Amino acid sequence: MTVTIAIVGRPNVGKSTLFNRLVGRRAAIVDDTPGVTRDRREGDAKLGDLRFRIVDTAGFETSHGGDLASRVQAQTVRALSCAEAALFVIDARAGVTPIDRELAALLRRSGRPILFVANKCEGRAAESGLGEAHILGLGPAIPLSAEHGEGLAMLYDALQPLIDGAAARDEAAAGDDTAAMTGTGDDAVPGAEVEADHGPLQLAVVGRPNVGKSTLINRLVGDERLVTGPEAGITRDAIAVDWTFRGKTLRMFDTAGLRRRARIDDRLEHLAGIDTQRAIRFAHVVVILVDATVGLDKQDLSIAELVVEEGRAPVLAVNKWDMIPDRGRVTGSITRRLEDSLPQARGLRPVFLSAATGEGLGSLLPAVLAAYELWNRKLGTPRLNRWLADMTEKHAPPSAHGRPVKLRYMTQTKARPPTFLLFSNRPEELPEAYLRYLANGLRESFGLAGIPLRLTVRRTRNPYVGDPS
């Protein structure tokens, strides 16, 4: 079992910087503004030959019941309860604060091993704070600079006994299990093979601010995994949550709400938007969440167009369905708007649900798996060319300057999304309208509705023209 370590500390002590340093990439948004992190973020960390699971948490601060700070702090406490150890970080330049004292007392009561780190120890300004750290009663602090990578050797020395001890316990437990199973091979199935694991389905949930993305994921996983509330813009990082549905592992990403660029004047919101766009690029399927009380507006369509341009498989989910009295009118309005404004994913059908009540939720993940299957579909070349012959017979490409444009051959070059290569005698003369005709025909004939398709046209080589070289 991999050891899980939660990074805890008050706001702006460098927890996310340390998290990024240990996972080896910029996974969490880092900014000088206190309180950037709100949801807990997990990642696979390594330090030398040590491997462990690391959890970045929100800054610990004084809160009042029911406010956003208290809901954020509850996530930090939950992360600590699920971890085998805590990595407690203070700011050596600022010295020990009352919140540091409060958090140190909480960590001692938890009974978990504590790795005590004084961050921002580059330069002489940190000397007094480092010396003051002993008053917390946690022993000497490890001097560290997460930003510059200084002091990691000392952190390695502190981590090694913890991780080696866990590895030894796992090895002993595995030995006991092996001994218990000796001689019990009668249940093996002759000729059975284990299907290879191709990794989790990457699923991003995107949409405008305050449409219920975090509430939806919490409802799906059955746990208050993400901070939610009536305030818009609570989520800033793209937070990954692993889950299993019908035997398929899903890695779901909750993302920050996307607004029109002209309305963004905050640096943190700009960084959060970049993080959301990165989550879309690396996803397989993207759930575009829409507020039913608002309808499918221009920003929703812009987000859907971004998903299609990136070649991801879209699933349109209409949330807050429990608040709609005239459902027929809203259904018709959204369906017509999709047909008129999103031809790149013609045939996309919305899923109507309520993340708050759970109504309609059973239809969402089957729609995700269906979109994923279509997105991965590969069609055989003979079948495609028989279809192409039928399509051109029904509606031949328009002639250009009195000369016929012919389509001679077609093949699918890849899936994810389905990408097709056409060969023509005059590819530059083939109009976009005819390519749309072929794309819509592919969707209708092969059941590829609702996903983006890529069609590229190349010139057919003339066998009677010699090689000029």
State pLDDT tens for residues 99-157. 899 889 888 888 889 999 999 998 777 888 888 888 998 988 999 999 999 999 999 99
CATH number at residue 388: 3.30.300.20
Residues 408 and 364 in one domain: no
Strand, coil or helix: 85: strand
250 Cβ contact partners less than 8 Å away, ≥ 6 residues apart: 200, 201, 203, 242, 243, 244, 365, 368
Can you give the residue range of the structural domain that contains 243?
Answer: 201-375
Q: How far is CA 46 from the centre of its chain?
A: 21
End-to-end CA distance of the chain: 63
Coil/strand/helix, residue 409:
strand
Q: Give the per-residue SS3 of 282-351.
A: HCCEEEEEEECCCCCCHHHHHHHHHHHHCCCEEEEEEECHHHCCCHHHHHHHHHHHHHHHCHHHCCCCCE
Q: Is 184 a domain residue?
A: no
d(CA 313, CA 285): 5
Tell me, what's the pLDDT at 254? 80
What pLDDT, on the 0 to 100 scale, is given for residue 170? 63
Compute CA distances 305 → 101, 313, 336, 341, 431, whole Å.
Answer: 50, 11, 16, 9, 22
- 190 pLDDT band, cuts 50/70/90, is very low
pLDDT greater than 50 at residue 340: yes
The pLDDT of residue 420 is above 90: yes
Residues 298 and 430 in one domain: no
Q: What is the pLDDT of residue 255?
A: 81
Q: Please, are residues 279 and 255 in contact by the beta-carbon 8 Å criterion? A: yes
Last residue of a domain, one of 330, 352, 375: 375
Domain shared by 331 and 424, yes or no: no
Q: Hey, what are 179's tokens?
A: 């001994």
Residue 233 sits in the same domain as residue 152: no
Query: To the nearest whole number, what is the mean pLDDT of the chain?
Result: 82
Domain membership flag for residue 175 = no
- Asked if 287 and 390 sit in the same domain, the reply is no
Reported as a pLDDT band with limits 50, 70 and 90, residue 355 is: very high
Q: Which of 325, 348, 375 is the last residue of a domain?
A: 375
Tell me the per-residue pLDDT of 5-45, one tens digit each, with 9 for 90 and over: 999 988 889 888 999 999 987 755 444 444 445 567 788 89
Amino acid at 33: T
CA distances from 225 to 220, 273, 303, 354 (A): 10, 21, 25, 18
In this prediction, residue 185 has a pLDDT band, given cuts at 50, 70 and 90, of very low
Are 377 and 418 contacting, i.e. CB atoms less than 8 angstroms apart? yes
Looking at the domain assignment, is residue 222 inside a domain? Answer: yes
Q: What is the pLDDT of residues 269-318, one digit of tens each?
A: 556 667 788 889 889 999 999 999 999 999 999 999 999 999 999 999 99
Do 341 and 390 lie in a common domain? no
Residue 241 pLDDT level (bands cut at 50, 70, 90) = confident
Percent of the chain with pLDDT over 70: 79
Number of domains in the chain: 3
The pLDDT value given to residue 450? 94
State pTM to two decimals.
0.67
433: pLDDT confidence band, cut at 50, 70 and 90? very high
